[in-house]
Amino acid sequence: MTRTKFLAGTTAIALLPATAFAVPEGGYGDLVERLNPAVVFIEVSGTTGGPSLEESLPEGFPREELERRFGPLFPERGQERARQGLGSGFIIEEDGLIVTNNHVVENADTVTVKLADGTEYEAEVLGTDPLTDLAVLDIEAEDLTTVEWGTSADVRPGDEALAIGNPFGLGGTVTSGIVSAVSRDIRSGPYDDYIQTDAAINRGNSGGPLFNADGEVIGVNTMIFSSGGGSVGIGFAVPSDLAQDVVADLVDDGSIARGWLGVQIRPMTEEIANVLGYDGPTGAVIEMVSNDSPAAEAGLREGDIILDFADTEIIDVRDLTRAVADVAPDTTVEAVVLRRGDEETIEVTVGDMTDRTM
C-alpha cells in the first residue's frame, strides 16, 4: 500500500533492552521463533471510486476511436472499482485484539487476518485514528500468542531493531537494523514523532510491530521514504508510548477524544527571542484566535506567546499541538503566556477537537 510521497512502511520489530548493543550469539532465531506467532498478515478488499485519469486526458486524445475498437477505457463516472491490499499487524490480547495501521484497513469492506500457522479469520474494525494512522481489529479467537508494549521513550539512535512482516505478501519475513533516529517530524501530520529505522521495510509491512531486543513493541511501522517504491533504509514507526494510549482509547469506545483550543500558531523566531531577551526561540506565537473558541473564552489574544500549557513546556508549535490534544475535552488547565513582555497565567477550558482544527 502506498500513500502520497511516503510509501507505506511495514511491520518492524525492535528487540533489545537499553543495554543490548550486539546481535545475540547465534542470531535472532530464538527471538523470532517466539515472536512470529504474534505477527499477523492482513488482506483487505473493498471498492473505491473510478479513476480521475479520465479528467486529465491530453487535448486531442483519440478516446472515441480507441473505445470504438476496444470498448470503454474508463468506468462510468461514479462507478466503483475493486480495491485489494496487504498489510501486517500484531496481537496484543489472547482473545484476538490486533493493532495495525489505519491506512491498511481504511474503506475496506472485508478484512481477513491470517496467523503465522495459516489460520484465517474475518476481522472487525473496532476503531481507527487517521491522525496517528493506527487501527484496532478484533477476531473471534482465544489463547493466541501476544506481544507486550515496550517504552519508546527509552529508545536511542543506535539501538538494534528487528522487523517481522508481510512485504509484498511474503509472510513471515524478518529484517534487522538499528534505530536511526527518534522524534522524527516528517510533516505528515500534527502528531509526527516517529522512530526512524534502517531495518528493511516494504509494501505490505504496514501496521507491523517494531520490537526491542527484549521482544517488546517499541513502534508500529507505518511508512517508508523512497523514490522508487522499495526500501532504501529509511522507515518510520509510530512510537509505542503514543500508540499504546491511542489503542487503549480505540478499544474503549472506538474513537479518540482530543482537546481543542481554537488558535492558529506559528513558531517563535530568533528576532523576537532576542528582543524579549530569550537565549533562543521557544514558545508558540498565536496568530489568530477563532471566534467562540475555548481560547477566545479564556481571553487568549493574537500575539500572545504560549510558553507552557497544562504543565507542558512549549518549545515549538508541535509541543503545543500535542499538549492541547492530550487534554480531555471540558478539562480546565493553566496556560502560561508572554503578553507585552509580561508572563501571565490564564485558565483555559479545553474543547473537543472533533471535526475542528487547533
Q: Give the tens place of pLDDT for each residue, 144-160.
A: 999 999 999 999 999 98
The CATH number for 188's domain is 2.40.10.120
Query: Does residue 288 share a domain with residue 225?
Result: no
- Which structural domain, as residue segments, surrounds residue 270? 259-352
Query: Does residue 246 share a domain with residue 172?
Result: yes
Distance CA(228)–CA(175), nearest Å, equals: 20
Question: Do 10 and 237 form a contact (C-beta atoms < 8 A)?
Answer: no
Q: What pLDDT does residue 13 have?
A: 37
Angle, vertex CA 25, rays to CA 182 and CA 168, nearest 5: 55
Is 74 inside a domain boundary? no
- Tell me the three cell numbers of residue 74: 474508463
Neighbours of 102 (CB within 10 A): 21
Q: What pLDDT does residue 192 have?
A: 81
- Tell me the three cell numbers of residue 205: 509491512
Average pLDDT for residues 309-328, to the nearest whole number? 91
Is the pLDDT at 63 greater than 70, yes or no?
Answer: no
Enzyme catalytic residues: 103, 133, 206
Is 66 inside a domain boundary? no
Is 75 inside a domain boundary? no
Is the pLDDT at 122 greater than 90, yes or no?
Answer: yes
- pTM, rounded to two decimals: 0.75
Q: What pLDDT does residue 6 have?
A: 37
Domains in the chain, number: 2
Q: Give the tens place of pLDDT for each residue, 209-261.
A: 999 888 899 999 998 776 666 677 888 999 999 999 999 999 998 888 899 99
Mean pLDDT of the chain: 82
Average pLDDT for residues 254-275, to the nearest whole number? 86
